[in-house]
Amino acid sequence: MFAILGIVLVFGAVIAGFLMEKGHLAVLIQPAELIIIGGAAIGTLLIANPMHTLKAILSGVMGTFGASPFGKDRYLSSLRMMYELLNKIRRSGMLSIEVDIEKPEESEIFKAYPDFIKDHHVRHFVCDTLRMVVTGGVEPFDMDQMMDLDMEVRHKGAHEPITALTSVADALPGLGIVAAVLGVVITMGALGGPPEEIGHKVAAALVGTFLGILLCYGLVGPLGVNMGKASDEEHAYLYVLRVLMIAFIRGNAPVQSVEIARRAIPTHVRPSFEEVEAACQNRAGVAVAEEQPA
């Protein structure tokens, strides 16, 4: 939402200022310049990146126009889910969650949390880690290193489309100059014509530079920054899950593991101790009631 508002504000402020100075808006409408800059930018993107990176760029850009999936409610529901899962282990043993982690889509615990089921990477991160715990024989330090490696690879992969989009943003001013130079070449060929025609061609050439700079610093560059922050939010979320699981693996009780993980949540989305306690107790009560015989 804020991304859309920001884009409207950027272009609205530029156009409003231009009109306040008695500029003619029609002068800025230069389809040829836009085709040169936009087509060349897309071409450089295709040259430099494989298909999976292009798909990630498209997905990341579309994601910037929505709300962050890692808000306070997501953290609260995740802590509640893990508390319920760890309590099941404490009551019935480690093997009791084997069905849950092997088929999370059919798990009675995980089915109550659709955000977890839909996010395949987070689902695999949790289930694969707990699968190694169920099999046994892995030290807590090794599990921590394994999760850290998984997060590092994921974070590096998530930054590939961001780097690609940032490279395009850096190239846009240069492509704008290319469009402007082509406009100057056309202008030089019309030097014998009327002054109005020459002025129009010079204006069209300058619009190329204007568009390149505006698209770089007013649109594509900020979109890349937004995608980078979204990647960092996902990394922070995985880190919280990692802290929670490694705390439990080291022998902490579920309530202690959840509290340790809560302290690792970024402060602007961190739920309070009372909120987490209330959520976990309510959900635990529901789980116990479901297990009682009719």
Per-residue model confidence (pLDDT) at position 213: 94
With respect to residue 106, please indicate whether it lies within any of the assigned structural domains: yes
Number of domains in the chain: 1
253 by DSSP, 3-state: which?
Answer: coil
What is the predicted pLDDT for the residue at 205? 87
pLDDT in tens, 26-85: 888 888 899 999 999 999 999 999 999 999 999 999 988 888 899 999 999 999 999 999
Instruction: Please report whether residue 141 resides in a domain.
Output: yes
pLDDT at 191: 76
Give me the pLDDT at residue 194, please. Answer: 81
- 7 inside domain: no
pTM of the model: 0.86
Is residue 69 domain-resident? no
Distance CA 294, CA 284 (A): 18
Own/partner pairs, 85-91, CB within 8 angstroms, 24+ separation: 85/109, 85/130, 86/248, 86/254, 86/257, 86/258, 87/254, 87/284, 87/287, 88/287, 89/248, 90/253, 90/254
For 229, the domain range is 31-62+85-285
The widest CA-to-CA distance across the chain, in whole angstroms, is 96
Residue 155 lies inside a defined structural domain of this protein: yes
Please state, in angstroms and rounded to a whole number, the distance separating the CA atoms of residues 292 and 130. 26
Alpha helix ranges (H) inside 93-220: 98-102, 114-118, 120-135, 140-188, 195-215
In a domain, 17, yes or no: no
Residue 52 lies in a domain: yes
Which residue ranges in the chain fall short of pLDDT 50?
A: 284-294
pLDDT of 186 reads 85
- Locate 24 and state its tokens: 């003619």
Find, among 251, 241, 238, the residue nearest to 140 by Cα.
251
Residue 283's pLDDT is 57
Q: Is residue 186 part of a domain?
A: yes
What digits encode the pLDDT tens for the residues 173-195? 999 999 999 888 888 887 777 87
CB neighbours of residue 208 within 10 Å? 25
Query: What pLDDT does 276 receive?
Result: 93
